[in-house]
Amino acid sequence: MDIIEKIALVLLIVGGLNWGLYGLFGLDLVAMLLGQMTILSKIVYGAVGLSAVYALFTTLMKK
């Protein structure tokens, strides 16, 4: 596993945990830590989304 895959995995875990907390408790951990839609929180949300696209693309290309 190269460094990009490791970063994507960490971001997917962060995103999954954030969605789980939001779904179960209405708690948006990223917004709580970084502020509601600040530039930093937008970067995190965007990075999580890009890592999901990367994971999807690499998974489909391996088949």
Q: What is the pLDDT of residue 22?
A: 96
- Cβ atoms of 11 and 1 closer than 8 Å: no
Distance CA(61)–CA(25), nearest Å, equals 36
d(CA 32, CA 41): 9
Mean of all residue pLDDT scores within the chain: 94
pTM over 0.75: yes
Q: CA separation (Å) from 56 to 7, 9, 41, 49?
A: 14, 12, 23, 11
Indicate the SS3 state at residue 12.
helix
Residue 63 has pLDDT above 80, yes or no: no
pLDDT at site 40: 96
Q: How confident is the model at residue 1 (pLDDT cuts 50, 70, 90)?
A: confident
First vs last Cα of the chain: how many Å apart? 17
